[in-house]
Amino acid sequence: MRTFQRVAVLGFGTMGGGIAQVVAASGRDVVVLETNQERIDRGFATVRGFLDEGVRRGKSTEADRDAVLERISAITDVAGLAGVDLVIEAVTERQDVKVELLARVAEVVGEDTVLTTNTSALSVTDLAAHLPRPGRMAGLHYFNPAPLMELVEVVRALQTDAAVIADLVSFVEDLGKSPVEVKDRPGFLVNRLLMPYLNDVVQEYDNDLATADDVDVAIQLGLGYKLGPLALLDLIGIDVHQHATESAYEATLDPQFAPPPLLSQMVAAGYLGNKSGRGFRVGTTEQGEGR
Given 191, 199, 247, 276, which residue is catalytic?
A: 191
Considering Cα of 53, then 58, then 59, then 64, what sign does the dihedral take?
Answer: positive
Per the annotation, the verdict on 120 as an active-site residue is yes
One-letter amino acid for residue 29 of the chain: D
Contact criterion met (CB below 8 Å) for 237 and 180: no
Cα angle at 271 between 189 and 50, to 5 degrees? Answer: 65
Given 153, 241, 243, 276, which residue is catalytic?
A: 153
Per the annotation, the verdict on 100 as an active-site residue is no
Given 118, 120, 199, 247, which residue is catalytic?
A: 120
Residues 30 and 22: their CA atoms lie apart, in Å, by: 10
Helix (H, G, I), strand (E, B) or coil at 57: coil
Residues 260 and 248: their CA atoms lie apart, in Å, by: 13
Residues 34 and 78: their CA atoms lie apart, in Å, by: 9
Contact criterion met (CB below 8 Å) for 156 and 138: yes
Per the annotation, the verdict on 191 as an active-site residue is yes
Residues 91 and 280: their CA atoms lie apart, in Å, by: 26
One-letter amino acid for residue 236 of the chain: I
Residues 152 and 22: their CA atoms lie apart, in Å, by: 12
Given 34, 118, 123, 141, which residue is catalytic?
A: 141
Q: Which of 236, 12, 15, 13 is nearest to 147 (CA)?
A: 15
Q: List, by residue number, the catalytic residues.
A: 120, 141, 153, 191
